[in-house]
């Protein structure tokens, strides 16, 4: 099992940065499990738990995710993994909030595990042809229409001394 370090939550929050460049090393399955466990622990409105967490490590699918919107996702092609958060909007009308909290929990767990990650927004974003990024992700993952996609985390072993830029 990966051992989270003993930094306080505030220290993790201070040190966390969006990381978009990865060394190429894989992420252990146990670490991916910690990340989805963290996401599943996130609170949801009325405890409805509308979210599902999809771990993507297949290179072809990562490349498809990188093209799901016109800008701001390309680095996903070089990520070791992506965890897509989908939420069934027929289960809860707070799918945006619930998904966002889950993504945030995973970002902090990634920091605790020493992994680099970056939130990649899909909701309200479009590809170069004007197709909804959410629709593209649903097609990649074969998800039904009512499954809404706020975004996903791109993940990898961080390339040293790289910190995030502004988008
Ligand atoms: C709601 C949200 C959407 C974001 N979408 C993207 C994105 O699509 N692509 C990207 O490269 N970064 C994205 N980011 C990362 C932000 O650009 C980043 O968090 C911000 O610039 C602050 O940098 P920091 O995370 O290193 O503190 C997003 C962050 C949030 C919270």
Judged by average pLDDT, the poorest of 5-14, 21-30, 63-72, 108-117 is 5-14
pLDDT given for residue 94 in this prediction: 98
Residue 108, C-beta contacts closer than 8 angstroms, at least 6 positions apart: 9, 12, 13, 16, 38
Q: Interior CA angle at 103 toward 26 and 74, to 5°?
A: 55
Q: Which residue's CA is the nearest one to ligand 1's atom 22?
A: 166
CATH code for residues 27-156: 3.40.109.10
Indicate the pLDDT class of residue 4, thresholds 50, 70 and 90: low
Q: Which secondary-structure segment (H or E) carries 118?
A: strand 116-121
- The rounded mean pLDDT for the chain is 94
Res. 142 pLDDT band, cuts 50 70 90? very high
Residue 67 has which token pair? 């093209």
What is the pLDDT at residue 2?
57
Convert the pLDDT of each residue in 32-84 to its tens digit: 999 999 999 999 999 999 999 999 999 999 999 999 999 999 999 999 999 99
Give the neighbor-by-neighbor strand order of the sheet with 147-156: 51-56, 81-88, 147-156, 116-121
CA 15 – ligand 1 centroid, Å: 15
* Residue to mutate, 68, 98, 121, ligand 1, most ligand atoms under 8 Å from C-beta: 121
Which tokens in the block code for residue 148?
């809404």
Q: Is 162 helix (H, G, I), strand (E, B) or coil?
A: coil
């Amino acid at each position: 099992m990966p051992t989270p370090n003993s930094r306080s939550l505030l220290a993790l929050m201070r040190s966390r940065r969006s990381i978009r460049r990865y060394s190429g090393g894989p992420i252990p399955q146990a670490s991916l499990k910690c990340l989805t466990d963290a996401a599943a622990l996130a609170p949801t409105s009325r405890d409805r738990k509308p979210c599902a967490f999809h771990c993507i490590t297949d290179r072809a699918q990562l490349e498809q995710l990188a093209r799901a919107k016109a800008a701001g996702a390309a680095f996903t092609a070089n990520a070791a993994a992506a965890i897509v958060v989908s939420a069934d909007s027929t289960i809860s009308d707070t799918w945006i909030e619930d998904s966002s909290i889950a993504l945030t929990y995973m970002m902090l767990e990634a920091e605790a595990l020493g992994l680099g990650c970056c939130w990649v927004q899909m909701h309200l974003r479009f590809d170069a042809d004007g197709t909804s990024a959410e629709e593209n992700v649903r097609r990649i993952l074969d998800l039904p229409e009512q499954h809404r996609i706020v975004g996903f985390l791109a993940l990898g072993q961080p390339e040293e001394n790289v910190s995030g830029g502004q988008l």
